[in-house]
Amino acid sequence: MVSDSGQIYTIEGVAAAILMIVTAYLVVSSTTIITQQDVHIIDMQLEQLGNDALAMMDTPDSFGNNSTLASAIQVNDTTVFQDTFLDYVNAYTVTGPETMRYNATISYRSSTEDIQTFIFNASPYYRENAVKVSRWVYLPYFNNTYYPEQSDMRSGNQTVLLEVLLWRQ
């Protein structure tokens, strides 16, 4: 039984509801919501620490010499790399030392113009919360006889990418 009476309030109610929802939607979609990213501050501290450590390892201590990092990579000396890097990241002033671990990989351009990657020095990684820092390292007069397992590394001046995954144990 359809008649044309008794519908004015319903129509008004529906119109008012639609108006409110559309307005709220427009307001919400035009504001940006600021959220606190507390969990990322720890990542930023680790990342800055890793970057600092790699940058300082890559600064020669006296004029005309190679940096510790370049020398260690040139002759495949993972002990020097490990000792220096861990000394730097675990250093402390007043409280006790920390325990950081890392995985270091090197990417290079091979003699066949491919990009190859190999693990330089690593600790077992059980998927802790980690950050990755990287640095381009310039290797002057590089001699590939120090890397017998990477037979396609070129000799001569080159730049390799060192990536270090860093986490707190």
Quickly list DSSP for 81-131: HHHHHHHHHT--SSSPPP-EEEEEEEEEEBTTS-EEEEEEEE------SEE
User: Residue 64's beta-bridge partner residues?
Assistant: none
How many of the chain's residues bind other proteins (CB under 8 A)?
Answer: 45
* Residue 120 backbone dihedrals phi, psi, to 5 degrees: -85, -50
In this complex, which beta carbon is closest to other proteins, that of residue 96 or of residue 148? 96
- Give the C-alpha separation, 19 to 56, whole Å: 61
Kindly indicate which of the ranges 51-59, 70-78, 143-151, 159-167 contains the residues binding other proteins, using the contact rule CB under 8 A: 51-59
Candidate residues 27, 30, 114, 136; the one interacting with other proteins per rule CB under 8 A: 27
Q: Are 74 and 160 in contact (CB under 8 A)?
A: no
- Strand order of the β-sheet with 130-142 is 115-122, 100-109, 156-168, 130-142
Interface with other proteins by CB under 8 A: which range of 30-38, 101-109, 117-125, 159-167? 30-38
Site string for other proteins, 75-114 (x = CB under 8 A): ------------xxx-xxxxx-------------------
Residue 169 as a binder of other proteins (CB under 8 A): the answer is no
Contacting positions for other proteins (CB under 8 A): 5-14, 16-18, 20-21, 23-24, 27-28, 31, 33-36, 41, 44-45, 48-49, 52-53, 55-56, 59, 61-63, 87-89, 91-95
